[in-house]
Amino acid sequence: MKWIDWNTLDEMERTAALARPVQARADQLRHGVERIIDAVRAKGDAALRELSARYDRCALDAIEVGEDEFAAADARLAPELKIAIQEAAARIDAFHRVAAPQPAGVNTAVGVRVERVLRPINRVGLYVPAGSAPLPSTALMLGVPARIAGCREVVLCSPARADGNCDEAVLYAARAVGVHRVFKLGGAQAIAAMAYGTGSVPRCDKLFGPGNTWVTEAKLQVSSDPEGAAIDMPAGPSEVLVIADAQANPIFVAADLLSQAEHGPDSQVILVSPSGTLLDSVAAEVERQCAALPRGAIAEQALAQSRLIQVDSLAQAMAVSNRYAPEHLILQVAAARDLLADVESAGSVFVGAWTPESVGDYCSGSNHVLPTYGYARSYSGVSVASYQKQITVQELDPNGLRAIGPCAATLAAAEQLEAHRRAVTLRLAALGMNV
Amino acid sequence: MKWIDWNTLDEMERTAALARPVQARADQLRHGVERIIDAVRAKGDAALRELSARYDRCALDAIEVGEDEFAAADARLAPELKIAIQEAAARIDAFHRVAAPQPAGVNTAVGVRVERVLRPINRVGLYVPAGSAPLPSTALMLGVPARIAGCREVVLCSPARADGNCDEAVLYAARAVGVHRVFKLGGAQAIAAMAYGTGSVPRCDKLFGPGNTWVTEAKLQVSSDPEGAAIDMPAGPSEVLVIADAQANPIFVAADLLSQAEHGPDSQVILVSPSGTLLDSVAAEVERQCAALPRGAIAEQALAQSRLIQVDSLAQAMAVSNRYAPEHLILQVAAARDLLADVESAGSVFVGAWTPESVGDYCSGSNHVLPTYGYARSYSGVSVASYQKQITVQELDPNGLRAIGPCAATLAAAEQLEAHRRAVTLRLAALGMNV
């Protein structure tokens, strides 16, 4: 990990110190994904079978997971894991329900009722990657809010293993949270299938979930096409920023940094502290713990790009964090709760020594699909609101139109939109009021 | 207007009947906008001056509106218009406050606190077009929710007139709702300036507002670039769908259709009714009213692409509307409120005979920046939430980690993420609990 003394840097060096690894949207990737999307649109299920054989090395019999496969997964899964999935789903459900948008309404004038009603997005498509390992937790994070929102049809795609079956835990989690249909598809072809529909896969209105660069590029492409589908948010590699003070436990801090670093070679981890001693002891502890990890080689590559940043105060540490806008922000300081008010941009915040990022990844109840790569400046994580439309409604009675019609007519005249004005004045005239 | 009998159509003909005018993202437009963005990024303010001279035909002295210009606008504006702007702003404020997201929190287990806090997006950029006429109402619709959200810096761009000044009503409206800085910029160059920053214009985190095809394309391009800015939503031409029954007043219905049609030749208006008589009389009335409109020629072009659709029931009318997903939905039927429950996809709904779309465009309190072009299937209109980030927070005490830590450890093991597991088990071990 690279050691940086923040106060010796000028403005450009500070920007460079917080730069993310470049995610070049290489032409090769872009065109490769275009070709896959075109193939799925042109040839539907036949293209899905071809692409699955080529990329996932599996010969798909049925594209959709059937009842037999769900039942077999249920029979094979360890009871302990089933319980953990159910427990996590229950807590995710509890928090997401509490944080869900509520209908609202107010009379903005006598006879003028204005409301905001909520409607589920009809058909949503969830993507659950299974690259280095299957991710049942992602099925929970995407499925629970869809169920709370009341989406009519919840579709999930996850790549099959070479044996042609989906991971049992993913299937169990999907069923546990009410996903309606699961398809054994991965990569850009899964995204294309859900965005445009095929014989087997229904066309979805909005797509959710993380993925590799092919999935991410495909989501970007279908979301730029009015015939395609909306997406949850743009994505980049996962990242964590930890703010720790001299009293933080270096063993815990190191473990949190490593839990991010093991995600992939392009993961980014940053530790910011006013204490040089803490930075030193965490660096040593990271090295010690990393050596004992099964994914230690991956973590080492990520750590090579990561930083230890020394600052002069916790206030400056928070300024660095807000500038970086981390996906995950861990506050390992004595008065962690007090720092919260100064958090401006972050995906999810972990407060205090007993809150490792892992609990948010799995089962505290918050969502783990979060804005990365600086998008936390302007995007939020997935929530029930992500699966809903907020529709405004207005209803005027004659008194309402008498009250606010003249204001509308004046503004319409100023904007030289005479038909807008007349839609009001014709009605006012019918009420015996001439404007 | 084209008359269509819905029940004589097959599935493909129905899709065609509800097709939007094609918005080809022509290569010429795409490359033209790329060149403008590149120029603004490379040459900053100098490029803005050159482009304003070329496209807005005005020689900009200062790019930013100064106090003198605000004062002059204030002095020149008609008192009646000032009052209308203040009145509209107050009602928009009242509704948007009531509909704003609220913080939320819950204990998902003993010792596990999970919250959702709200933070404003720091710097937002609003775009107010001034093509055929200036649009002070758009300054209100974009500025009021930014103020409620508490955005630190609210920047607004609107093209100058040939005399080098901005429209007085736009300036007055901007000041009325607390916009911090106004720049005399239009088109793709305004979007580029706000997305990347120049010497004069600060770099904004998210951009809002309608615009012509150049503005729309520029917003799409900057939102696909991680170095760029987020945007409110994709855009297309404005549109309305009216559901009317035999008792509807054809004069009112025609006036509503025309208020949409006058926006531009590519606006789309659709009337759906189970009553052939009503369709007939509205068609005649549209013709009559259109002839008397200053923008009648524009409205006529829009009407040429528009449709009268006969259905067999109000339930079928609503099914047609949900399939189209209109930006504006007007319900001119006897029991309009009862239909509301069946609305699945729409930007904003206008209930009953006394609620013309114009009141929502200006001053009922709802927002007029709404999803068009079918995006109402998955997007919502602008609201306070559009200017905020929703950040999740979790805080566990030792008992909390004892309660949910084992669940996290089990799931981490299933996902083969050992460092995730250890971040939990190391802490549990420190608490004397071995998992």
The pLDDT confidence band at residue B24, using thresholds 50, 70 and 90, is: low
Nearest-CA distance from A5 to chain B in Å? 25
Evaluate if residue B330 carries a pLDDT over 70: yes
Q: Are A260 and A357 in contact (CB under 8 A)?
A: yes
pTM over 0.90: yes
Q: Which residues of chain A lie closer than 8 angstroms to B351, CB-CB? A: 393-395
Q: Do A80 and B418 touch (CB under 8 A)?
A: no
Q: Which residues of chain B lie closer than 8 angstroms to A382, CB-CB? A: none
pLDDT, position A236:
85
pLDDT, position A25:
66
Beta bridge partners of A310: A5, A273
A238 annotated binding-site participant: yes
Nearest-CA distance from B407 to chain A in Å? 5
Which segment of A70-84, A129-143, B325-339, B398-412 scores lowest on mean pLDDT? A129-143
pLDDT, position B27:
84
Question: Cα separation of B333 and B337, whole Å?
Answer: 9
Query: Computed over its alpha carbons, how large is the radius of gyration of chain A?
Result: 26
ipTM over the 0.85 cut-off: yes
Question: Which spans in B44-111 are helix H?
Answer: 45-51, 67-76, 79-98
Query: Computed over its alpha carbons, how large is the radius of gyration of chain B?
Result: 26
In terms of CA atoms, which chain A residue is nearest residue B19?
A227
A415 annotated binding-site participant: yes
Catalytic residue among A168, A180, A239, A328, which?
A328
For residue range A404-426, list pLDDT tens digits in order. 999 999 999 999 999 999 999 99
For residue range A294-351, list pLDDT tens digits in order. 999 999 999 998 899 999 999 999 999 999 999 999 999 999 999 999 999 999 999 9
pLDDT, position A24:
66
The pLDDT confidence band at residue B25, using thresholds 50, 70 and 90, is: low
Sign of CA dihedral B260, B266, B271, B276: positive
For residue range B178-235, list pLDDT tens digits in order. 999 999 999 999 999 999 999 999 999 999 999 999 999 999 999 988 899 999 999 8
Residues of B designated catalytic: 327-328
All domains in chain A, ordered by first residue: 2-23+236-365 (3.40.50.1980), 27-100+120-231 (3.40.50.1980), 397-430 (no CATH)
The 8 Å CB, 24+ separation contacts for B28-35 are B29/B213, B29/B214, B29/B217, B30/B217, B30/B221, B32/B188, B32/B214, B33/B188, B33/B214, B33/B217, B33/B218, B33/B221, B34/B221
Give residue for tokens 């030289």: A416
Nearest-CA distance from A169 to chain B in Å? 8
Q: Do A411 and B136 touch (CB under 8 A)?
A: yes
Please choose, from the candidates A304, A348, A374, A345, the residue with its C-alpha nearest in 3D space to the C-alpha of residue B119.
A345
Which residue ranges in chain A fall short of pLDDT 70? Answer: 23-25
Q: Do A359 and B401 touch (CB under 8 A)?
A: yes
Q: Which residues contact B262 (CB under 8 A, 6 or more apart)?
A: A417, A418, A419, A420, B293, B295, B296, B298, B299, B302
Binding-site entries of B for substrate:
238, 260, 263, 328, 361, 415, 420
